[in-house]
Amino acid sequence: MAGIHTHELTVSAEAIDANGHVNNLEYLRWMQDIAVAHSAARGWDMARYLAVGGTWVVRAHTIEYLGAAFEGDTLSLYTWVGDLGSSSSRRRYLVWRAADECLIARAETLWVYVDMRSGRARRIPDELRASFVVLPSTDAVMEELGLRVRVDGRGMS
């Protein structure tokens, strides 16, 4: 589906917490990494943001953990732009384990576009806005990808 950026990873030992599963902070790191990669893939790498004097900052993260991931698991991360306001954007994410067809987590970040010098919210430039496809429905994305919520018998995060 156009507009969805995908990344596959294998969970490393460093990602595991005292409970034996992926630490919650890893999900945040993965979300930020795939958001940056998606932006760069759409032509908006850090050099381009520096050239226009704007950047994104996080206002809020929401993560719903539906299952646990463990060392050695191969996970697919999906992200897309859920909406574009005048100076903010909601980006959505899914974390999927294909081995048992389990949706591990779904998440959302509210990003605010800011002026690099002042740190104040700034209007998203039309050329930036035009670089992304907006897909507002997580359910529609899941249906398109053939993903469904499945109870994970291996424990919750």
| Residue that is written with structure tokens 């790498």 in the block | 45
29: containing domain? 5-145
Query: Over the stretch 99-114, which tens digit does the pLDDT of each residue have?
Result: 999 999 999 999 999 9
Query: CATH code at 97?
Result: 3.10.129.10
Q: By the 8 A CB rule, do 96 and 78 touch? A: yes
Q: Which residues pair with 103 in a beta bridge?
A: 96
Mark out the alpha helices in 79-137 (DSSP H runs): 126-129
Please give the share of the chain, as a percent, with pLDDT higher than 90.
86
Q: For residues 154 and 109, what is the distance between their CA atoms, to the nearest angstrom?
A: 27
The pLDDT assigned to 157 comes to 39
Structural domain tally of the chain?
1
DSSP for residue 118? T
The one-letter code for the residue type at 103 is: L
Query: Over the stretch 49-74, which tens digit does the pLDDT of each residue have?
Result: 999 999 999 999 999 999 999 999 99
Tokens of 48: 């381009």
The pLDDT assigned to 90 comes to 98
In a domain, 22, yes or no: yes
Q: Which helix (H) or strand (E) holds 40?
A: helix 24-41
